[in-house]
Structure 1
Amino acid sequence: MSSPAEFYNSLPPISKAYGTACLVATTAYQLGLLDVTHIALIYPFVFKYFQVWRLITNFFFLGKFSINFGIRLLMIARYGVQLEQGPFERRTADFLWMMIFGALSLLVLSAIPIFWTPFLGISLVFMLVYVWSREFPNAQISIYGLVQLKAFYLPWAMLALDVIFGSPLVPDLLGIIAGHLYYFLTVLHPLATGKVLLKTPMWVHKIVARWRIGAPAPASRRTAAEPERSTGVAFRGRSYRLNG
């Protein structure tokens, strides 16, 4: 068995960085080093006092240490990692763009008063779960060892559990909406029409290349497939998906 350090080092870069940031934020909060009101998404402070960091920092707080916090962190470690090591393998720029696009979508949705929530981290994690469930729809999932269901239904089952346990519904709904929007623009619409509406911007590719984030694309396809890479279509070769 690998040690915790070896497991941590084996994680792909984007999921590892995001999960680490969330853990650090909650740890700092629990130690009294961080006042979360300074990182919350409060639009009047953003636009009136130009506290633009709130547009980013709100995604890093998943709540105080609790069972729910642990579950959200495990979601990143499982579903985010499986996406980054599976459909997005050697496509770090596309995975990073998915996270950025999801965050931007959530910021827009949260600007609607009925959807506003001060922290969108849970919504971003739920978006990862939704995209994972669409990419691995036939994987078998066990919920608390009591219920077996296909992964396609996982977001809705978790939404129902949050309703039962009295957790806020809006963060989960926002994550589902953002996840479906991304999936529609990068998978469903291109498959139906052959037209790509959402492409990974070149500046994201340049950031990943400049900082050498993740494994590079295979040399055999890097030059020949360069136009394809720049399209930013998230998923290709869907027919190879197997149960679990």
Structure 2
Amino acid sequence: MSSPAEFYNSLPPISKAYGTACLLFTTAFQLGLYNVFYIALLYEYVFKHFQVWRLITNFFFLGKFSINFGIRLLMIARYGVQLEKGPFERRTADFLWMMLFGALSLLVLSAIPIFQAPFLGVSLVFMLLYVWSREFPNAQINIYGLVTLKAFYLPWAMLALDVIFGSPLIPDLLGIIAGHLYYFLTVLHPLATGKVFLKTPLWVHKLVASWRIGAPTTQPSSRSGAQPERSTGVAFSGRSYQLNG
């Protein structure tokens, strides 16, 4: 059995970086090193006082140390890692773009009064969970040893459990909406029209290459029929054939 250090070092770069940042932010909060007010997503302070860091820092706070915090961190370690090591293997730029697209979508959604939320970290984790559930729809998941269900239904089951245990509904729902938006643009829309609308921008590829993290995707090449798809950011290439069939 590998040691905790070996397990941590084996994690893929994006999931590891995000999970680590969430753990550090919560640890610093528990130690009283900062007030969460100063990292919360408050658009009044963003636009009137130019506190633009709030657009980023709010994604790194998953709440104080609790069972819920542990579950969210484990969701990153399981579902984020499985995505990054599976469908997004050797496609670090595409996985990073999926995370960035999810974060941008959540920022737009949270500007709607009914969806306002000071922290979107839980929503981003739920977005990862939703994408994972669509990539592995038939995987069997056991929830707390009480019920077994297909992964396709897991986001809704987790949302229902959060409601039962008194957690806010909006963060989970925002994540599901953002995840489905990504799914629609990378699977449903291409299947209906034959066109890939959402592609990983070149600057994301260059960013990954400059940071030398993971394995940057190569640009589309006419010499291989499969190569262009690997550069679009589409994570559901296998499932798309099943849906067509």
Give your verdict on TM over 0.5.
Answer: yes
Instruction: Give 2:93's aligned amino acid.
Output: A
Q: State the distance in 2 between where 1:121 and 1:223 align.
A: 41
Instruction: Give 2:63's aligned amino acid.
Output: G
> Counterpart in 2 of 1:182?
182
Q: CA deviation at 1:235?
A: 2.4
Q: State the distance in 2 between where 1:183 and 1:215 align.
A: 23
* Alignment pair present for 1:70 and 2:64: no
> Counterpart in 2 of 1:142?
142
> Counterpart in 1 of 2:52?
52
> Counterpart in 1 of 2:101?
101
Q: CA deviation at 1:49?
A: 0.5
Runs of 4+ with >3 A deviation: 221-230
Q: State the distance in 1 between where 2:232 and 2:163 align.
A: 39
Runs of 5+ consecutive residues of structure 1 not aligned to the other structure = none
Q: CA deviation at 1:34?
A: 1.7
Question: Deviation digits for residues 164-220 of structure 1, max 9, x if unmatched?
Answer: 1111000000000000000000111112221111111100000011111103558xx
* Contact 1:201/1:230 (<8 A) preserved: no
Q: State the distance in 2 between where 1:46 and 1:223 align.
A: 47
> Counterpart in 1 of 2:198?
198
**SS of residue paired to 2:142:** strand
Q: State the distance in 2 between where 1:165 and 1:231 align.
A: 39
* Contact 1:11/1:81 (<8 A) preserved: yes
TM-score w.r.t. length of structure 2: 0.93
CA RMSD of superposed structures (Å) = 2.0
* Contact 1:61/1:119 (<8 A) preserved: yes
> Counterpart in 2 of 1:118?
118
Q: Which moved more, 1:33-42 or 1:4-13?
A: 33-42
* Contact 2:79/2:132 (<8 A) preserved: yes
The residue correspondences of 1:8-19 to structure 2 (distance < 5 A) are 8-19=8-19
> Counterpart in 1 of 2:232?
231
CA 1:50–1:165: 2 relative to 1, 3 Å:
same
Q: CA deviation at 1:237?
A: 2.4
Q: State the distance in 1 between where 2:228 and 2:159 align.
A: 39
Q: State the distance in 1 between where 2:223 and 2:56 align.
A: 34
* Alignment pair present for 1:210 and 2:210: yes
The residue correspondences of 1:22-41 to structure 2 (distance < 5 A) are 22-41=22-41
The residue correspondences of 1:142-161 to structure 2 (distance < 5 A) are 142-161=142-161
* Contact 1:84/1:95 (<8 A) preserved: yes
Paired-residue identity, %: 86
Question: Deviation digits for residues 120-178 of structure 1, max 9, x if unmatched?
Answer: 00000000000000100000000000100000000000111111111100000000000
**SS of residue paired to 1:142:** strand
CA 1:240–1:138: 2 relative to 1, 3 Å:
farther
CA 1:136–1:46: 2 relative to 1, 3 Å:
same
Q: CA deviation at 1:11?
A: 0.2
Q: State the distance in 1 between where 2:153 and 2:18 align.
A: 25
Q: State the distance in 2 between where 1:110 and 1:233 align.
A: 25
Instruction: Give 1:132's aligned amino acid.
Output: W
* Contact 1:72/1:125 (<8 A) preserved: yes
Instruction: Give 2:168's aligned amino acid.
Output: P
Instruction: Give 1:203's aligned amino acid.
Output: W
**SS of residue paired to 2:87:** coil
Instruction: Give 2:237's aligned amino acid.
Output: R
CA 1:166–1:148: 2 relative to 1, 3 Å:
same
Q: CA deviation at 1:230?
A: 3.8
Question: Deviation digits for residues 16-64 of structure 1, max 9, x if unmatched?
Answer: 0000000000000000112111100000000001000000000000000
**SS of residue paired to 1:134:** helix
